[in-house]
Amino acid sequence: MNALTPLDRLRTIGLDELNAQAELQTRVDRKYILPRRDLPAVLLALPAGSEVLQIDGESSLRYASQYFDTPQLDSYFGAVRKRRRRFKVRARTYVDSGGSFLEVKTRGARAATVKERVPVAGDALDDEAVAYATDLLSEAGIPHAAHLADTLRPTLVTRYRRATVLLPAAAGGDASRATIDTDLTWVAAEGTVLQLPASVIVETKSGQRAGALDRALWRQGHRPARISKYGTGMAALRPDLPANPWHRVLTRHFSGAMVTDGHRPTSDTPSVAA
C-alpha cells in the first residue's frame, strides 16, 4: 500500500484556507524520520476533521531545492558548530504548481530563525539575488555578509514529494499543520545521487503543546530527531565532513541509502526541476 493512502480519506483544503488557519501562529517545529512502512498506521490515527492540502487535484506535490554555500561551506559549518549567527540559502522550486523562490534563513543574536523569499528565474544567483541575500545576512548580523553572498555557489539539490495536513484544534489549543516528505533524494554538485526510498520525514508545526500527529507518532515509538535536509544530506554525501549534530540520524537512517554516481550536467548547476 502507498504510504500516503490513508490521506485519501481526508477532506481536502486549498492553500489560502490552510494559510489563514495555521500559517501565522507561533509554532514549535518538530522533525521525525521514520520507516515508510510505519507511516500508514500513524496517518490512520489522525483525528477526525483533519484535512489535506490539494492543489490542482494533487495532494502529493513535487518540491526541489537548490542549496547554495560558499567554497569554505560557511553555511554548513555554521550549523555544525552551532554558531549563534548562521544562515542557509536555497532556491526552492514548486515543480507541479510552478514558481521558484530564493529563500534566506538566518539565525541572529536572538536565535530566531527568519525566512524571507523573493522570486527567482532559475537555479543560479544573479546580481539582484546576491544583493538581496547580502541585505538579509547583514540585517541578521552575519559577519562578512557581502563577501559570503558574493561567493555563494550551488552545492546540493534536494528533491521530494510533500503532503501537507491541517489538524483541527484540540480543546483550548490551536490548529496545527504537518508536512510529510517522501521519495527523498539528494544530488551533490558533481552529480552523485543519494536516495532514501524506504524513509519519510515528518515535520509538525504546532503551539507550545504537542499536536495530535506528535502524539500519534509518540504512541508508535517515534521521537523527534535532529535532521536538516541540507546538513544531513551534505554529511551523507561527504563523509570527510564533520557531522556531529546528525550522527545519530546518519547511523540509524542513512546506512542503507542508495547512492549512485551521476554524470556532471552540461552546466555547473544541477537542475532542481529534473
Q: Do the beta carbons of residue 219 and residue 189 sit within 8 Å?
A: no
Q: How far apart are CA 205 and CA 224, in angstroms?
A: 12
Mean pLDDT of 111-134: 80
Q: Report yes or no on 125 lying in a domain.
A: yes
Mean pLDDT of 43-71: 94
Q: Report yes or no on 274 lying in a domain.
A: no
Cβ partners under 8 Å of residue 272, min gap 6? 64, 65, 66, 91, 93, 100, 123, 157, 159
Confidence of residue 4 (pLDDT cuts 50, 70, 90): confident
Q: Report yes or no on 124 lying in a domain.
A: yes
Mean pLDDT of 161-165: 96
Confidence of residue 24 (pLDDT cuts 50, 70, 90): very low
Mean pLDDT of the chain: 87
SS3 state of residue 226: coil
Asked if the model's pLDDT at residue 152 lies above 80, the reply is yes
Q: Report yes or no on 273 lying in a domain.
A: no
What is the DSSP pairing of strand 28-35 with strand 86-94?
unpaired
Considering its fold, how many domains does the chain have in total? 1
Mean pLDDT of 55-71: 95
Mean pLDDT of 49-73: 95
State the residue range of the domain holding 151: 5-260
The 10s digit of each residue's pLDDT in 170-205 is 655 667 889 999 999 999 999 999 999 999 999 998
205 vs 274, higher pLDDT: 205
Determine the pLDDT at residue 109.
Answer: 52
| Count of CB atoms situated within 10 Å of the CB of 258 | 11
Q: Report yes or no on 231 lying in a domain.
A: yes
Q: Report yes or no on 12 lying in a domain.
A: yes
DSSP letter, residue 100:
E
Amino acid occupying residue 11: R
Determine the pLDDT at residue 169.
Answer: 77
Cβ partners under 8 Å of residue 143, min gap 6? 85
**What is the C-alpha end-to-end distance of the chain, expressed in Å?**
26
Q: How far apart are CA 83 and CA 77, in angstroms?
A: 8
CATH number of the domain where residue 242 is located: 2.40.320.10
Q: Specify which of 21-30, 137-146, 168-177 reaches the highest per-range mean pLDDT.
A: 137-146
Q: How far apart are CA 195 and CA 256, in angstroms?
A: 9
Q: Report yes or no on 268 lying in a domain.
A: no
The 10s digit of each residue's pLDDT in 224-273 is 999 999 999 999 999 999 999 999 999 999 988 999 986 443 333 344 44
Q: How far apart are CA 117 and CA 179, in angstroms?
A: 20
Q: Which three cell numbers mark 139?
A: 540585517
Determine the pLDDT at residue 201.
Answer: 98
Q: Which three cell numbers mark 216?
A: 500519534
Q: Report yes or no on 272 lying in a domain.
A: no
Mean pLDDT of 129-142: 92
